[in-house]
Amino acid sequence: MELCDRNISELAEMLRRGDVSSKEITESVFARISEKEDTINAYITTTYDSAMKQADMADKRFRKGGDIPLLNGIPIAVKDIICTKGIPTTCGSKILSDFVPTYNATAVEKLLGDGAVIVGKANMDEFGMGSSTENSVAGPTRNPLNTECVAGGSSGGSAAAVAAGEAIGAVGTDTGGSIRQPAAYCGVVGIKPTYGRVSRYGLISYASSLDQIGAIGKTVRDCAVLMDSMAGHDPLDTTSAQVKKPGFLNSLNKEIQGLRIGLPKEYFVEGLDPNIKERIETAVSLLEEKGAHVVEISLPHASYAVSSYYLIATAEASSNLARYDGVKYGYRSEAVSDAVTMYETTRRIGFGREVKRRIMLGSYVLSAGYYDAYYLKAQKARTLIKEDFDRAFEKVDAIVTPVSPCLPFKLGEKLEDPLRMYLVDIYTVSLNLSGLPGMSVNCGTVEGLPVGMQIIGRAFDEATVFQVGHAFEESTGSK
């Protein structure tokens, strides 16, 4: 097995024993990048020189000794919507193609503080808008498990990098499923924490009330290591929560005996691929064997999730993306005869098709006369969806659902039909609307394509999500 195919926990141990150096691990990751990138396209930018310097620093830290963080010397990919000082941060968009931040996002700052090695900026749907990583100006990312299929999105580059050994762990963002769904499609683990758990400072906004930074790794344990590093209150983000960080690694070895797990009946209906349903049911029976009590629950407003999500997300996006006008950031059109022409052509050329579609939809639902009918209604539905979860969590400790109604699909298959693409998010968006934490773990394959199981927890109870995810991984003997 190559070093780049190992997980964070294995490598952390090898580093501690002095069996390998961070430089060797980082070289192994870059060798894999050279081998695979032409096909996979997981990265928009790779950072060999600075990564080797960071690896060298990590190795020095080991030589010095003392209490060393688990991430020290571990190569990590960062989604290209998260600011990295001195490294281009493009959001997969032409409009930010030459944007180089002068500061690090808080999450990146924390990872670097713990000694992580940043190997590059991962490919993504433009501004996080998409479910397949086909909406990137850098071209699509392919699924390492089947290169005719999409990697999922929008954090497709992050998930594909981890699955292909082009990074050991990765950072993604999730506005409506963009960590969980690509993790499911690439057969790795991904967690979207509770809204407010990880600082959004330095995360370029798509829909601010839904966006969260989270982790992608080969195992549940690896995600816990990444989350332990990134989580925590940050005075630079007013929506970051003032709650104690429990230490996610500590929650892994708790028994799930007696834990109550809910299966929402509205999620297992027509439209869900029967093969996926079967894999989830098998997975749930494994949890039952470990002592969990499985109960049917109801989330009666589930059918409003996709429509309210796409109204709220586009409304917020239309406002957030108003700042790209060719004056303050990035790309500016040459057509500068007058200010208005400059704004118009900059935005017409700078944004891709999907982004423009959403800006138009978002401006429409916020406009006078339509605001009450669409935006306000969507906000009311959002409250109902959240209250469904509140009621369910009176009866259960965690909820289990599929991540996606379908298997990874072929490149191009849904690109011309935005509604079909939006429906892929049916099981993930309700968590962003409610702010709840959710994880995707692999629960088998169908004809070689991976199936993801979603584990949902109460707000700020990622610990239970980790506990269930880890217990499941152990029961399958996969980790």
User: What sign for the dihedral angle of Cα 471, 472, 477, 479?
Assistant: negative
- Establish if 131 lies at the interface with ligand GLN (CB under 6 A): yes
Provide the phi-psi class of 223: left if phi over 0, else alpha when psi is between -120 and 50, else beta. alpha
User: What sign for the dihedral angle of Cα 236, 238, 239, 240?
Assistant: positive
Q: Give whichever of 200 and 470 is closer to ligand GLN, judged by the CB atom.
A: 200
DSSP code string of 268-305: SSTTS-HHHHHHHHHHHHHHHHTTPEEEEE--TTGGGH
Site string for ligand GLN, 193-212 (x = CB under 6 A): -------------x------
Candidate list 9, 72, 154, 194; residue touching ligand GLN; CB under 6 A: 154
**Encoding tokens for residue 413?**
């298959």
Candidate list 176, 190, 362, 402; residue touching ligand GLN; CB under 6 A: 176
Stretch that binds ligand GLN, among 122-130, 333-341, 398-406, 409-417 (CB under 6 A): 122-130
Per DSSP, 169 falls in state E
Stretch that binds ligand GLN, among 143-151, 175-183, 230-238, 280-288 (CB under 6 A): 175-183
Q: Give whichever of 385 and 396 is closer to ligand GLN, judged by the CB atom.
A: 385
Stretch that binds ligand GLN, among 172-180, 251-259, 402-410, 443-451 (CB under 6 A): 172-180
Site size toward ligand GLN (CB under 6 A) is 13
Q: Rounded distance, CA 314 to CA 360, Å? A: 8
Which position has the token pair 């704004």?
343
Q: Give whichever of 188 and 287 is closer to ligand GLN, judged by the CB atom.
A: 188
Q: Give whichever of 161 and 256 is closer to ligand GLN, judged by the CB atom.
A: 161
- Establish if 157 lies at the interface with ligand GLN (CB under 6 A): no
Angle at 297 between CA 457 and CA 188, to 5 degrees: 40
Q: Rounded distance, CA 337 to CA 358, Å? A: 28
**Encoding tokens for residue 29?**
């990751």
Q: Rounded distance, CA 149 to CA 31, Å? A: 24
Q: Which amino acid is at 29?
A: V
Candidate list 59, 80, 174, 462; residue touching ligand GLN; CB under 6 A: 174
| Cα dist from 256 to 193, 219, 287, 478, whole Å | 20, 18, 8, 18
Q: Give whichever of 26 and 131 is closer to ligand GLN, judged by the CB atom.
A: 131
DSSP-derived pairing of the beta strands 260-264 and 293-297 = parallel
Q: Rounded distance, CA 44 to CA 138, Å? A: 6
Q: Give whichever of 309 and 324 is closer to ligand GLN, judged by the CB atom.
A: 309
Candidate list 9, 141, 178, 440; residue touching ligand GLN; CB under 6 A: 178
Measured from the CB of residue 429, what is the shortest distance to ligand GLN in angstroms? Answer: 7
Which position has the token pair 């966006």?
211
Q: What is the CA radius of gyration of the chain?
A: 21
Q: Give whichever of 112 and 426 is closer to ligand GLN, judged by the CB atom.
A: 426
- Looking only at residues 420 through 459 of this chain, which bind ligand GLN when binding is defined by CB under 6 A? 425
Candidate list 96, 116, 129, 459; residue touching ligand GLN; CB under 6 A: 129
User: What sign for the dihedral angle of Cα 202, 205, 211, 215?
Assistant: negative
| Cα dist from 224 to 188, 296, 451, whole Å | 14, 28, 21
Site string for ligand GLN, 294-333 (x = CB under 6 A): -------------------x--------------------
- Establish if 166 lies at the interface with ligand GLN (CB under 6 A): no
Stretch that binds ligand GLN, among 126-134, 259-267, 399-407, 456-464 (CB under 6 A): 126-134
Q: Annotated active-site positions, please?
A: 79, 154, 178
Measured from the CB of residue 467, what is the shortest distance to ligand GLN in angstroms? Answer: 25
Name the residues that contact ligand GLN, by CB under 6 A. 128-131, 154, 174-178, 206, 313, 425
